[in-house]
Amino acid sequence: NAGVTQTPKFRILKIGQSMTLQCAQDMNHNYMYWYRQDPGMGLKLIYYSVGAGITDKGEVPNGYNVSRSTTEDFPLRLELAAPSQTSVYFCASSGTDKSSYNEQFFGPGTRLTVL
Amino acid sequence: AQSVSQHNHHVILSEAASLELGCNYSYGGTVNLFWYVQYPGQHLQLLLKYFSGDPLVKGIKGFEAEFIKSKFSFNLRKPSVQWSDTAEYFCAVSSGGYQKVTFGTGTKLQVIP
């Protein structure tokens, strides 16, 4: 199993550009999440999904959009990038198996800089 | 909304010293508790978790944590740290049946050889 994969690993955007951060998991997990990590701030939940076709906002959704057309994929879209979106973005997933209930598995992250 | 507090933001220890990182949460009901570790330049990995049963939980690499319900705490401990334990440590909590997890702000541990 590859687990949770994310692409790209690094990206530099200009203000106002848009991009999509890709996330995929091969563990057949229903739940998927997008977080951003800023120094000293921990992880902030951007969006999450409880299954294909179902998404909802987290703590910091402004400036982002998501979709979940399949169980495996959960892309994060940035529209009109702003310097405040400079961060490291982590995708995670979790399943309903009782042995790992609520345990989140993380991808390697995408480091995004907006200039 | 539940919250998680990690009071130590940056801890510096010498090798072989004992470690205890504090974690307190706000939710009063049934909780699932986690400690994750993030080595430099890497993603978060699970160290240990508590769902139910024995409040003393043992994880990987010699780490353990104790759930004290009366104190809303889940402190992480290791009797003797190594240089390779240099990392950032995150406490996290989820409540009820919903899979949303709230993370603390993290504690950076630096172990000096």
Q: What mean pLDDT value characterizes chain B?
A: 91
Is the CB of A103 less than 8 angstroms away from the CB of B34?
yes
Q: Indicate whether B3 pLDDT > 90.
A: no
Phi, psi of B22 (to 5 degrees): -85, 145
Chain A contact for B101, CB < 8 A? yes
Task: State mean pLDDT over A10-35.
Answer: 95
Which chain A positions have a beta carbon within 8 Å of B105's beta carbon?
Answer: 40-42
Q: Please give the residue of chain B at the shortest CA–CA distance from A37.
A: B105
Which chain A positions have a beta carbon within 8 Å of B94's beta carbon?
Answer: 102
Q: Please give the residue of chain B at the shortest CA–CA distance from A56.
A: B100
Q: Indicate whether B96 pLDDT > 80.
A: no
CA distance A18 to chain B (A): 24
Find the range with the poorest average confidence among A4-8, A67-71, B24-28, B64-68. B24-28
Q: Is A59 helix (H, G, I), strand (E, B) or coil?
A: coil
CA distance B94 to chain A (A): 7
| pLDDT tens per residue across span B53-81 | 999 999 999 999 999 999 999 999 999 99
Is the CB of B44 less than 8 angstroms away from the CB of A40?
no
Q: Indicate whether B99 pLDDT > 70.
A: no
- What the block records as the tokens of A18 is 């848009």
What is the secondary structure of B49-110 as a DSSP string? EE-SS-SEEE-GGG-EEEEEGGGTEEEEEESS--GGG-EEEEEEEEETT---EEE---EEEE
Euclidean distance between the first and the last CA atom of chain B, given in angstroms as a whole number: 41
Instruction: Name the nearest CA neighbour of B86 among B113, B105, B49.
Output: B113
Q: Is A42 helix (H, G, I), strand (E, B) or coil?
A: strand
Separation of CA A92 from chain center: 7
| pLDDT tens per residue across span B35-49 | 999 999 888 999 999
